[in-house]
Amino acid sequence: MNLRYGTSDATDGSMKSADRNHATVLPAREAFLRKNDMEAGNTTLVQVVYGGEDFCRYATLVDPDKGDGITRPATIAADALIVTEPGHALFLPLADCIGALIHDPRKNILMLSHLGRHSLEQTGGTKCIEYLIEQHGVDPTNLTVWLSPAAGGSNYPLHVFENRSMHDVAAEQLMAAGVPRENITISPIDTTQDTRYFSHSEFLKGNRDQDGRFAVVAMMN
């Protein structure tokens, strides 16, 4: 496999940057990247912005985009980023949503997509694959997908989808775009129940003492 990826947990520290904690978050991010044999200067942040009404924004990166949002302020707002060259890592902080790692090993294309309630309600699981088909000519039957730890349906049901879980809805939308079910691997970890992972929704309910974000990082070798 020419793909390298990892998921942080609470012992790695919070991966969400904000003015009040940037000084502590940046070293935590850098340490997590080093643990996965990646460098901050070769990494781009998937910066999800909730302002506006579009949660299916995608961008394909080029080499000068390395470091954006990691070693310098973020300039790219997107719900998924795509790289077509090895050595360019993608970094996505998560609260309870899914980080979907989508890889075409034949065309050497990697997408890291944020699939949460907002994007799933706009069929983001299907639209991100359609972007790869339209912009990069991928065959969806060649794609492999890994869905990260996320909030499960028992504590975070999606009411618009008959109270199903994000994992179930995301897999259904991916398959609707042509990804075979056998090519989709779903993490069994429920962030609302597994205290090794930050859960923003559980923090808001008063069930966690600490708020924070875990992260998914991925890079083609």
pLDDT tens string, the chain, 221 residues long: the values are 589 999 999 999 999 866 445 566 888 999 999 999 999 999 999 999 988 899 999 999 999 999 999 988 899 999 999 999 999 999 999 999 999 999 999 999 999 999 999 999 999 999 999 999 999 999 999 999 999 999 999 999 999 999 999 999 999 999 999 999 999 999 999 999 999 999 999 999 999 998 999 999 999 99
Q: How far apart, in whole angstroms, are the C-alpha atoms of residue 68 and residue 74?
A: 5
Structural domain range at position 158: 3-220
Our count of domains for the chain comes to: 1
Q: How far apart, in whole angstroms, are the C-alpha atoms of residue 34 and residue 123?
A: 34
Tell me the whole-structure pTM to 2 decimals.
Answer: 0.95
CATH number for the domain that contains residue 7: 3.60.140.10
